[in-house]
Amino acid sequence: MKKVVHAACPHDCPDACGVLITVEDGRATRIQGDPEHPVTRGFLCAKVAKYLDRVYSPERVLYPMRRIEPKGPATGAANAGEGPFDCRSGQVRATQNWQRISWDQALDEIATRFRGIIRDFGSEAILPYSYGGTLGTLNGASMDRRFFHRLGASQLDRTICSAAGEAGLKSVYGAKLGTEPEQFRHSRYIIAWAANIHGNNVHLWPFITEARRNGAKLVVIDPYRTRTAACADWYLPINPGTDAVLALGMMHVIIGENLHDSDYVSKYTVGFEALREKVKEYPPERVAQWTGIAADDIRKLAREYATARPSVIRLNYGVQRSEGGGMATRAIAMLPCVIGSWKQVGGGLQMSTSGAFELNSDALKRPDLMKTALGRKARVINMVELGRVLNTVNDPPVKALFVYNSNPAAVCPNHNEVIRGLQRSDLFTVVHEQFFTDTTDYADMVLPATTFFEHKDLQKAYGHYYMQVSQQAIAPLGECHSNVEVFRALAQKMGFEDECFRETVDEMIDAALDSGDLWLKGISRERLEREGHVRLNFVSQKDAGDGACATQAATQPFLPFAQGNFRTPSGKAELYSATLEAEGLDPVVEFTPPVESRHGRQKTGFPLELLARKADNFLNSTFTNVPSVQAMEESGLLEMHGSDAQARGIADGDKVRVFNPRGEVVLKARVDGAVQSGVVSARLNWAKLSPGFQSINALTSEKLTDMGNSATFYSVLVEVELAKPKASG
């Protein structure tokens, strides 16, 4: 029997593609993009186009497994330390480490260990650790949260990706809303600001192509010459971590030359006078010294951006992975307010659209259950600081770690400290996973997880405004269970009687959609199941009673801030923020060059700025072990500028040692003009697929951003030298 099932890609990617899965006799035989989806329009990125290889990989975790050898990657691999090696051998090693057990045994053992830890150390000695494995609403954050709230476990502050940018954006707009991708086709001037569109957001590209066909100009601001930069009309390489000052310099020119929109500014913003004073300190000549962008180019950029209307900014999260990332996002977010481009179709800015999906989060996560367990809120642990927390926190120490939807042994900063913590023999670690990752190498128990082919979910997006239901296409492989089912079963083992642990998936989807939010009005599970995707219903409070207006709102371009409607305390775009002031931050914008940048390097003795970037063909550390995807990505490279290579006697293809006080990695030098002098770049991968079992996160730090307590993956100083040839024999 053959059927085609509608699903939605749940990977941590703004596009949230509509997907069609062909199933024949219970086996998925084809994956393709849903041509009906108005944004993702029938194509998939190269990695997900190969998804059958991932679902049916011989390396899937299919059964609960208990560790029988000491923690750590098995050492028997012939070429350990040499990598990358064929990950098939990884599977052989993985099974050697493990003993298959039943689900019942596994859950009993977890419940017993948890009870013992709670008795001896309190429930906050248990720490959940999850992030973006799936962004499905249910499998991302629902039954798991209920479980850990009811348990009274420590709470995890999920800051590893976007918290600084979120804080920066919200400080100006009060909400994570932005320009619809479909509107980019109407733009005349598009700035891709720290936005690797070809790599990370490929479904925006056709809209940009359409705009350019109609004469639009594409400008890219990125310290790395991405594929997007290579295709741009104008590429501006910027010194890492200096974006705030570029935005201030642009506003210096725009306001100084009276190119701002005084009508919009006076109606819908607060603090313009304070901003006008602030930007006086940033003339282009001064900004050029920080950013490495010539003063004349800064003037030209500002003038073009302010006058070629409509102009739009695709700001992505690259800027906010720096020490000053919150303020940089804040400064950039002011630009469309100052020039009033929010008024126009094809104007404004997009960093994230996720704030439009106001689901009933309390019903899904039940934070009230924390009170049942503890009588108060549980302590909060920042996921970025996992290394420090595992090694030093004592009040109480973390005695159990439950990892799902994440691979911290690859993605977390300060890798060596994370590994040191994960190696603790007194730490009980459970990992719910689809594969034997870097993190399962340190697990006491591994539980098999379904992929999105094998479970149903409700799918939001952070790069467009369509809600989808992702249907289950095939039965779970082996004994895989979804996150929802694992935490449901564990709740039962722990004896939690609350009704919410018995809710079905459909009941949870219904509860999620039942938030009373106007933009969700008329969007039911049944309708999503019927139509596949539904655009949010952008009706205003005023129009809500009027059916005709509501229908119109469903098809009209969405202009979130055309008439103000900012969700800040003042209701206006806050160019001056009293909230920031109360937190002791500069209420306008503060620019402090990162300590770990060329401006601080004299103090550290490490001269090169490292961009520890994502790979275009992987998704963080996901897909890195799929051979057909590996074939698309040349791994293990350190990209560097010719002058930096030459100064160190390094030629293209040489093995180099990249190091700083936190760690070292061995990579292959690539001298091809992707970075400016003073900057080097390497890409994320599994540690065990890398030479010496070292993630590039061995070099990154746990230092937090200025706002949002996020990670600083792009504020890293290193030195590079030729790797010593290995002694022969």
Binding site for ligand MGD (CB under 6 A): 12-13, 131-134, 139, 160-161, 193-196, 199-200, 221-224, 226, 238, 240-241, 243, 316-319, 321-322, 404-407, 410-411, 432-435, 437, 449, 483, 611-616, 618-622, 684, 696-697, 700, 713-714
Q: Which stretch binds ligand SF4 (CB under 6 A): 41-49, 409-417, 501-509, 683-691?
A: 41-49
Residue 404 or 558: the one with the smaller Cβ distance to Mo ion is: 404
Contact partner, 140, from ligand MGD, ligand SF4, Mo ion, none, Cβ < 5-8 Å per class: none
Residue 243 or 719: the one with the smaller Cβ distance to ligand MGD is: 243
Tell me the β-bridge partners of 65: 100, 446
Is residue 153 within 8 Å of residue 128, measured between CB atoms?
yes
Residue 161 or 474: the one with the smaller Cβ distance to Mo ion is: 161
> What is the Cα 729 distance to its own chain's centre?
44
Contact partner, 614, from Mo ion, ligand MGD, ligand SF4, none, Cβ < 5-8 Å per class: ligand MGD
Identify the helix (H) or strand (E) that includes residue 228: helix 227-231
> What is the Cα 413 distance to its own chain's centre?
14
For ligand SF4, what does the binding mask look like between residues 199 and 238, x meaning CB under 6 A? ---x------------------------------------
315 — phi, psi (to 5°)?
A: -95, 125
Residues 150-169 that bind Mo ion (CB under 5 A): 161
Residue 293 or 518: the one with the smaller Cβ distance to ligand MGD is: 293
Residues 608-667 that bind ligand SF4 (CB under 6 A): 619
Burial of 547 per CB tally in 10 Å (0-12, 13-18, 19+): exposed
> What is the Cα 424 distance to its own chain's centre?
28
Give one word for 194, left, alpha or beta, with left for phi > 0 and alpha for psi -120 to 50: left
Contact partner, 406, from ligand SF4, ligand MGD, Mo ion, none, Cβ < 5-8 Å per class: ligand MGD
Closest residue to Mo ion in the complex (CB): 161
Q: Which stretch binds ligand SF4 (CB under 6 A): 14-22, 147-155, 675-683, 688-696?
A: 14-22
Give the largest Cα separation in the chain, rounded.
82
Please report how many Cα atoms fall inside a 13 Å half-sphere around the Cα of residue 398, on the Cβ side. Answer: 31
What angle do the packed helices 295-307 and 243-256 form, to 10 degrees?
60
Judging by DSSP bridges, how do beta strands 445-448 and 428-433 pair with one another?
A: parallel
**Among 5, 20, 34, 44, which residue interacts with ligand SF4 (rule: CB under 6 A)?**
44
Is residue 62 within 8 Å of residue 478, measured between CB atoms?
yes
Q: How far is the CB of 615 from ligand MGD (least distance, A)?
A: 6
Residue 474 or 575: the one with the smaller Cβ distance to ligand SF4 is: 474
Q: How far is the CB of 261 from ligand MGD (least distance, A)?
A: 25
Q: Which amino acid is at 288?
A: A
Contact partner, 17, from ligand SF4, ligand MGD, Mo ion, none, Cβ < 5-8 Å per class: ligand SF4
Residue 44 or 445: the one with the smaller Cβ distance to ligand SF4 is: 44
Contact partner, 200, from ligand SF4, Mo ion, ligand MGD, none, Cβ < 5-8 Å per class: ligand MGD
Considering the rule CB under 6 A, would residue 13 count as an interface residue with ligand SF4? yes
- What does 68-113 look like in DSSP terms, one character per residue? -S-SSS-TT-TTTTT----HHHHHHHHHHTEEE--HHHHHHHHHHH
Residue 15 or 166: the one with the smaller Cβ distance to ligand SF4 is: 15
What contacts 67, CB < 8 A, 6 or more positions away? 97, 98, 99, 443, 444, 445
Residue 193 or 558: the one with the smaller Cβ distance to ligand MGD is: 193
- The tokens for 444 are 């006491």
> What is the Cα 209 distance to its own chain's centre?
25
**Among 7, 17, 312, 427, which residue interacts with ligand SF4 (rule: CB under 6 A)?**
17
Residue 478 or 547: the one with the smaller Cβ distance to ligand MGD is: 478
Considering the rule CB under 6 A, would residue 48 count as an interface residue with ligand SF4? yes
Length of the chain: 729
Tell which residue, 663, 702, 589, 618, has the closest CA to residue 246.
589
Residue 224 or 566: the one with the smaller Cβ distance to ligand MGD is: 224
Residue 321 or 366: the one with the smaller Cβ distance to ligand MGD is: 321
Tell which residue, 140, 129, 693, has the closest CA to residue 427.
129
Tell which residue, 662, 524, 492, has the closest CA to residue 110.
492
Q: Which amino acid is at 645?
A: A
Total of chain residues touching Mo ion, rule CB under 5 A? 1
Tell me the β-bridge partners of 720: 658
Q: How far is the CB of 186 from ligand MGD (least distance, A)?
A: 23
Contact partner, 44, from Mo ion, ligand MGD, ligand SF4, none, Cβ < 5-8 Å per class: ligand SF4
Is residue 140 within 8 Å of residue 461, measured between CB atoms?
no
Total of chain residues touching ligand SF4, rule CB under 6 A? 11
Q: Which stretch binds ligand SF4 (CB under 6 A): 40-48, 247-255, 438-446, 482-490?
A: 40-48
Considering the rule CB under 6 A, would residue 444 count as an interface residue with ligand SF4? no
Tell me the β-bridge partners of 155: 380
Residue 14 or 122: the one with the smaller Cβ distance to Mo ion is: 14
CA distances from residue 342 to 404, 437, 601, 654 in whole angstroms, order as listed: 39, 44, 39, 49
Is residue 654 within 8 Å of residue 722, measured between CB atoms?
yes
Residue 34 or 243: the one with the smaller Cβ distance to ligand MGD is: 243
**Among 9, 338, 389, 637, which residue interacts with ligand SF4 (rule: CB under 6 A)?**
9
- The tokens for 222 are 């990125």
Tell me the β-bridge partners of 20: 6, 32
Q: How far is the CB of 395 from Mo ion (least distance, A)?
A: 30
Considering the rule CB under 5 A, would residue 338 count as an interface residue with Mo ion? no
- The tokens for 205 are 């590209």
Residue 197 or 505: the one with the smaller Cβ distance to ligand SF4 is: 197
Considering the rule CB under 6 A, would residue 276 count as an interface residue with ligand SF4? no
CA end-to-end distance (rounded Å), the chain = 59
Contact partner, 256, from ligand MGD, Mo ion, ligand SF4, none, Cβ < 5-8 Å per class: none
- The tokens for 653 are 């293809």
Contact partner, 467, from ligand MGD, Mo ion, ligand SF4, none, Cβ < 5-8 Å per class: none
Residue ranges of alpha helices (H) inside 215-261 are 227-231, 243-256
Task: By CB under 6 A, name the binding residues for ligand SF4.
Answer: 9, 11, 13, 15-17, 44-45, 48, 202, 619
Task: By CB under 5 A, name the binding residues for Mo ion.
Answer: 161
